[in-house]
Amino acid sequence: MSETAENFEDFEAAAIVRDDEALLVHVDGFEGPLDLLLTLARNQKVDIAKISILKLADQYLEFIESAKKLNLELAADYLVMAAWLAYLKSRLILPQEKGPDGEPTADEMATRLRWRLQRLDAMRAAATRLMGRERLDRDVFGRGDPEAVNVIKLRTYKDTMYDLLTAYATERARKLGGKSYRPQMAPVLAIEEARERLERMLGKISDWSALTGLLPFEWQGGARRRSAVASTLLACLEMARDGKVELQQMAPFAEIFVRDGQRGPDVPSNIPEATTPGA
């Protein structure tokens, strides 16, 4: 069946086989049993709406018989249709009787077949009309040389007065050899700054606190840290001399602890050995 369907024939080729003589030879030229039935119906040369289904069934069965005699291989759906038509024919000949439950009467079945043939016929006519329409670029044409829409770039500049003056000042300064001297600032925390900071923090230092815990946040890494430790220590020593803080170190190179010197000598030292960090 699918072989038949895949057999792409165009209208011209199909028209050739509609010749009675050719019917027997060209069974493959039909697009299935419905197509064959429609061709046979057309040969009756009456309105398909009024076609005699009995006569049509006879013609179809006759066709199948001759094909069998010629040993033509028939697709299964042709044989299914033949069996169905033989059944329909027998029921049409017999006096009208209701079939088994819900089965349509023979007349109803004939009407349905007639309608399907009409519909296929109508759709084919519609296809012919559709394909006969004037087609774009074959029969009718659009503008052969359409004019493209030009995209114009509206260029605006973002440069501002600031850019202009920066450019001028740097350019002029550069040309006049005038890289003005700006000393490179070494990453050093001034002792004054460290001391000021410590003095501000004194009230907030509750008990012995590790010196390294008192470094400014932004001075905690690398060379900056070393400078901050040194300056803070020097600031602490200065302040210890003035009696403002007390310092304690458990071992050489061990962590140095600081506390508020105003707490008075009566407060015992309570640095637990355990909290002493390793060197």
Closest Cα to residue 37, out of 68, 59, 11, 67?
A: 59
- CB 218 to another protein: min, Å: 25
80 binding another protein? (CB under 8 A): no
- CB 18 to another protein: min, Å: 13
Q: Which of the residues 91 through 120 are near another protein (CB under 8 A)?
A: 112, 115-116, 118-120
- Pairing of β 209-210 and β 245-249: unpaired
Segment near another protein (CB under 8 A); pick from 178-186, 218-226, 256-264, 269-277 = 178-186
Radius of gyration of the chain (CA): 54
Q: How far apart are CA 261 and CA 170, in angstroms?
A: 54
Sheet holding 245-249, edge to edge: 209-210, 256-260, 245-249
Among 65, 73, 163, 192, binds another protein (CB under 8 A): 163
DSSP letter at 26? T
184 binding another protein? (CB under 8 A): no
- CB 13 to another protein: min, Å: 8
186 binding another protein? (CB under 8 A): no
Q: Which of the residues 6 through 25 are near another protein (CB under 8 A)?
A: 6, 8-11, 13-14
* # of chain residues touching another protein (CB under 8 A): 78
Q: Is 82 within 8 Å of 34 (Cβ atoms)?
A: no
Cβ nearer to another protein, comparing 25 with 126: 126
Q: Which of the residues 213 through 272 are near another protein (CB under 8 A)?
A: none
> By rule CB under 8 A, what string of x and - marks binding of each residue 119-158 to another protein?
xx-xxxxxx-xxx-xxxxxxxxxxxxxxxxxxxxxxxxxx
Cβ nearer to another protein, comparing 154 with 274: 154
Q: How far apart are CA 11 and CA 256, in angstroms?
A: 105
- CB 230 to another protein: min, Å: 32
- CB 135 to another protein: min, Å: 6
Q: Is 240 within 8 Å of 223 (Cβ atoms)?
A: no
Closest Cα to residue 82, out of 62, 104, 107, 99?
A: 62
Structural tokens at position 43: 């040969």
